[in-house]
Structure 1
Amino acid sequence: MNQRRRKKLSHHLFGAILVGDTVRVKAVLRAGADPERGDSEGATPLYTASVNGQPEIARLLLAAGASPDTESSGLGSEGTPLCAAACWGYTEAVRELLAYGADPSLREDQGAGWSPLDWASSGPHPDTVDLLTTAGAAPTKGGTT
C-alpha cells in the first residue's frame, strides 16, 4: 500500500473515531488502516478513542493490533491511552485497555509523569480508581502535570 493510501485511510479512521462511528471504524480497519499510525500531530487512534470514552472503538483498535501502552505525542494529547481514559473516569474504556494488557502502573511522559491511578484519583473517579487498584496499580503520586 502506498503512502498516500495509508494517509487517506488514517484520516478516515480518525474521522470515524471522532464521531464515534464504530461501523466506519470497522470498515476502515478492514480496508487496511494502521491502528498504530498517529495523526499529523502525533496522537494515536487508541489515545483518541480512549480520551473520548469510546470503549467499543478502543476494543476494535486493540483487536486490530494497537498497542495498549503506546504513548501519544500529539499537542494536547500526550500520554498513554490508559492515562487518558482514567483522567476522565471512562471506566469502560479503562476496562477494555486492561483486558488487552495495558500496564495499570505505567506512567506517561516516558515514565516521568502521572500514572493512570494518579489521574483517576485526582478526578476524582472512585470507580476507575477501584478498577485500576484491582488490576494491580499501586497508589504513588510522584508525577507532574
Structure 2
Amino acid sequence: MNRRRRKKLSKRLVWAAMIGDTAGVEALLRAGTPAETTDPEGTTPLYAASVHGAADTVRVLLAAGASPDTESGHGTQGTPLCAAACWGHTEAVRALLAHGADPNLREDHGTGRSPLDWAATGPYAETSAALLAAGARPSWRA
C-alpha cells in the first residue's frame, strides 16, 4: 500500500473508531489498514474508540493487533485505558484490561494520571472497581 493511500485509510479508520462504526472499522482493517496507526494529529483508532466508549470497536481493534498501552496524540491525549476510565466507559475498560492493558500505566509517558486517577474524578464506581480488581493501585500507594 502506498503512503498516500495508507494515510487516507488511517484517517478513515480513526474516524470510524471514534463514531463506533464497528462494521466500517472491520472493512478498513480487511482493506489492509493497520490497527496500530494514527491520523495526522497522532490519534490512534483504539484511543478514539476508547474515549467514546465504543467497546465493540475496542474489541475489534485489539483483536486486530492494536496495542492497549500505546499513547495517542502528540502529547495531548493519553492511553486508551485512561481515556475510557476518564469517562466511566466500564465495558471499554474491561475490554482493554482483558487484552493486557496495564492498569497502573500513567499517561504522558509515565508522568501524568493513571486510569484509576481518572475514574476517581467522576462518579464512576464501577469503572474504579474494575480497575482495582485488575490490580490498579491508588496514587497514594504507588
Structure 1 runs (4+) greater than 4 angstroms displaced: none
Q: How do 1:119-130 residues align onto structure 2 when only pairs under 5 Å count?
A: 119-130=118-129
Structure number having the greater helix percentage: 2
2:12 and 2:111 map into 1 onto residues whose CA distance is: 33
Aligned equivalent of 2:112 = 113
1:28 aligns to what? 28
Counterpart residue identity of residue 103, structure 2: P
Gaps of 5+ in 1: none
Aligned to 1:131: 130
Structure-to-structure mapping, 1:1-145, within 5 angstroms: 1-74=1-74, 76=76, 78-140=77-139
Q: Structure 2: where are the runs of 5+ without partners?
A: none
Q: Is the 8 A contact 2:47 2:79 kept in 1?
A: yes
- What is the count of residue pairs matched by the alignment? 141
1:68-91 CA-to-partner distances (Å, cap 9, x unmatched) read 000112475x11000000000000
- Measure the CA separation in 2 of the matches of 1:52 and 1:106: 20
What TM-score, normalized to structure 1?
Answer: 0.92
Pair 1:83–1:141, CA change in 2 (3 A):
farther
Identity of aligned residues (%): 62
SS in 2 for 1:97: helix
TM-score for the superposition, normalised by structure 2: 0.94
Asked if the contact 2:14–2:43 (Cα under 8 Å) also holds between the matched residues in 1, the reply is no
- The answer on whether the counterparts of 2:68 and 2:99 sit within 8 Å (CA) in structure 1 is yes
More strand per residue: 1 or 2? 1
